[in-house]
């Protein structure tokens, strides 16, 4: 069954944005985040009602669903917001090249024809790799418009000396990475050392230069939702272009309660400063159903202008395969075997 192209495009109406705005909130154009001075009063005032967050998430999952053509359109939107990722100890240049080939053509040509979406030219937002593979990815993606993101700053623990972490960012930027995913020092959050956390993220931002910086909070390690909220605010004040849940290496990664706290912090920051910060859940998002839950959360909390790659990303390694299977079911009425949708 073909996908209605208007349904796909309506999820992210670019026409509603002014030339200088990157997103809107309640009809108000927002500018890219350049950071603000650290406001400790704001940080200390952050409070999170955990029970209320959990109730809100339970309600969200229970009552938010899309069907048929709309579901297919939302799944295609999810693909365009993916950072297709390989961060394994056994990564090779060949694996990265195969991943990049999938990033350029994430939906098989035969399935594109069945869905009638060839003209949409669906591709993922970025490929995320270790610094070692930045050059390989850049060559493999040349001319595609797909960005290359490099993890940095002692990923995933973030415990190497600050000078080394800053130098690591600069090396990836010099190699040509369009985006840098940095890791904060979680101990700054545990100790309430907000000035130290602010200075650290600000130093990362300076080293990134024109490259977009996604700040990984490591939410599974932060123990409380209040810590997540406070770390989110400090990272945004220090100039984060995106805030990201997890490295994907923690025991607990992206969860909807954490996502709700972070998106509401983004909303408050936008209301207070007029600047927009993107959001990236990463780790543990493996099913098409989960991707729709996250997209619905973004639409409800931040609005449709956030539902595009400039403002929202999935950190994903296995999600794409399940989305392809769901799209094939939409087109043919049958589920295909997982092995028919290899990632790399």
Q: Which residues are catalytic?
A: 181, 244, 280
Separation in Å, CA 97 to CA 89, 139, 218: 16, 9, 28
Q: Within a 10 A sphere around the Cβ of 161, how many other Cβ atoms?
A: 9
What is the distance between the alpha carbons of residues 152 and 266, in angstroms, rounded to a whole number?
A: 23
* Per-residue 3-state assignment (H helix, E strand, C coil) for 158-178: CCCCHHHHHHHHHHHHHHCCC
Distance of CA 303 to the CA centre of its chain: 16
**Adjacency order of strands within the sheet including 147-151:** 278-280, 242-244, 212-216, 179-183, 147-151, 126-129, 82-85, 314-316
* Token pair listed for 163: 């000078």
Dihedral, CA of residue 66, residue 70, residue 71 and residue 74, to nearest 10: -110
Q: Which residues pair with 88 in a beta bridge?
A: none
* Token pair listed for 280: 């990236």
Question: Pairing mode, if any, of strands 28-32 and 314-316?
Answer: unpaired
Report whether 149 contacts 216 (CB < 8 A).
no
Q: Which long-range contacts (CB under 8 A, 24 or more apart) does 17-22 make?
A: 17/305, 21/276, 22/276, 22/310, 22/311
């Amino acid at each position: 069954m073909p996908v209605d192209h208007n349904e796909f495009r309506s999820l992210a109406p670019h026409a509603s944005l002014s030339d200088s705005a990157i997103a809107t909130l309640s009809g108000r154009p927002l500018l890219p985040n350049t950071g603000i001075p650290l406001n400790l009063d704001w940080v200390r005032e952050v409070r999170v009602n955990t029970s209320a967050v959990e109730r809100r998430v339970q309600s969200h999952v229970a009552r938010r669903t899309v069907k048929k053509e709309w579901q297919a359109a939302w799944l295609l939107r999810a693909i365009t917001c993916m950072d297709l990722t390989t961060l394994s100890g056994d990564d090779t240049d060949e694996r990265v090249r195969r991943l990049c080939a999938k990033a350029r053509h994430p939906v098989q040509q035969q399935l594109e024809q069945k869905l009638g979406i060839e003209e949409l030219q669906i591709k993922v937002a970025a490929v995320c790799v270790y610094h070692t593979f930045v050059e390989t990815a850049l060559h493999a993606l040349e001319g595609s418009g797909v960005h290359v993101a490099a993890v940095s700053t002692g990923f995933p623990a973030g415990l190497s000396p600050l000078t080394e972490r800053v130098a690591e960012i600069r090396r990836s930027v010099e190699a040509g990475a369009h985006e840098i995913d940095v890791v904060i020092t979680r101990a700054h959050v545990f100790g309430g050392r907000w000035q130290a956390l602010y200075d650290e993220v600000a130093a990362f931002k300076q080293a990134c230069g024109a490259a977009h910086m996604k700040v990984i909070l490591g939410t599974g390690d932060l123990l409380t939702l209040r810590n997540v909220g406070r770390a989110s605010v400090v990272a945004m004040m220090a100039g984060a272009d995106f805030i990201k849940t997890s490295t994907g290496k923690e025991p607990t990664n992206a969860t909807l309660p954490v996502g709700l706290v972070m998106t509401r912090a983004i909303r408050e920051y936008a209301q207070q400063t007029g600047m927009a910060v993107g959001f990236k859940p990463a780790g543990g998002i493996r099913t098409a159903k989960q991707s729709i839950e996250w997209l619905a959360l973004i639409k409800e909390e931040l609005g449709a202008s956030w539902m595009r790659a400039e403002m929202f990303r999935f950190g994903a390694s296995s999600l794409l395969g399940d989305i392809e299977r769901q799209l094939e079911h939409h087109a043919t009425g049958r589920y295909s075997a997982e092995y028919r949708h290899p990632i790399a």
